[in-house]
Structure 1
Amino acid sequence: MNGSGESSAEQLLSRPGVQRFPSSRLDLFTARGFLSPAQCSALIELIETNHRPSTIADYNGDDAFRTSSTCDLPQEHAVVAQVVAALSSLSGIDPAHAEPLQGQRYEVGQEFKAHTDYFEPASHDFDRYCAVPGQRTWTFMIYLNEVEAGGATRFKVIDKLVQPETGKLIGWNNRKPDGNPNPSTLHHAMPVRRGRKYVITQWYRERPWG
Structure 2
Amino acid sequence: MQSTDTDIAATIAGRPGVQRVPSPKLTLFIARAFLTPAECTELVALIDAGRRPSTVADYNGDNAFRTSETCDLDGANPAVAAVEARIAAFTGLDPKHGEPLQGQRYAIGQEFKAHTDYFEPDGPDFARFCSVAGNRSWTVMVYLNETEAGGATRFKAIDKIVQPETGKLLAWNNRRPDLTPNPSTIHHGMKVRAGTKYVITKWFRERPWGW
2:182 paired with 1:190? no
- Contact kept, 8 Å, 1:26 with 1:176, in 2: the verdict is yes
Q: Once the two structures are superposed, what CA deviation does each residue of 1:177-205 show, in whole Å capped at 9, x if it has no partner?
A: 11110000000000000000000000000
Paired position in structure 2 for 1:10 = 10
- For the residues of structure 2 that align with 1:9 and 1:123, how far apart are their CA atoms? 28
- For the residues of structure 1 that align with 2:134 and 2:3, how far apart are their CA atoms? 10
- Contact kept, 8 Å, 2:151 with 2:192, in 1: the verdict is yes
- Contact kept, 8 Å, 1:29 with 1:172, in 2: the verdict is yes
Q: Give the TM-score normalised by the residue count of structure 1.
A: 0.97
- For the residues of structure 2 that align with 1:114 and 1:10, how far apart are their CA atoms? 28
Paired position in structure 1 for 2:58 = 58
- Contact kept, 8 Å, 2:58 with 2:123, in 1: the verdict is no
SS of match in other structure, 2:11: helix
**Aligned AA (1:86):** R
Mapping of 1:93-172 within 5 angstroms? 93-172=93-172
Q: Which deviates further from its counterpart, 13-22 or 106-115?
A: 13-22
**Aligned AA (2:177):** P
- Contact kept, 8 Å, 1:5 with 1:205, in 2: the verdict is no
- Contact kept, 8 Å, 1:5 with 1:206, in 2: the verdict is no
SS of match in other structure, 2:157: coil
1:139 CA displacement: 0.2
Alpha-carbon RMSD across the aligned residues, in angstroms, is 0.9
- For the residues of structure 1 that align with 2:172 and 2:94, how far apart are their CA atoms? 17
- For the residues of structure 1 that align with 2:122 and 2:66, how far apart are their CA atoms? 23
SS of match in other structure, 2:44: helix
SS of match in other structure, 2:137: strand
Q: Give the TM-score normalised by the residue count of structure 2.
A: 0.96
**Aligned AA (1:55):** T
2:47 paired with 1:47? yes
1:13 CA displacement: 1.1
- Contact kept, 8 Å, 2:110 with 2:192, in 1: the verdict is yes
The number of aligned residues is 208
- For the residues of structure 1 that align with 2:166 and 2:190, how far apart are their CA atoms? 17
Alignment identity in percent?
64
171 and 67 in structure 1: CA distance in 2 versus 1, 3 angstrom threshold: same
- Contact kept, 8 Å, 1:142 with 1:201, in 2: the verdict is yes
2:37 paired with 1:37? yes
- For the residues of structure 2 that align with 1:54 and 1:123, how far apart are their CA atoms? 19
Mapping of 1:51-90 within 5 angstroms? 51-90=51-90
Q: Once the two structures are superposed, what CA deviation does each residue of 1:123-181 show, in whole Å capped at 9, x if it has no partner?
A: 32111111110010000000000100000000011000000000000010000111110
Q: Runs ≥4 in structure 1, deviation > 4 angstroms? A: none
**Aligned AA (1:160):** K
**Aligned AA (2:167):** G
Structure 1 unaligned spans of 5+: none
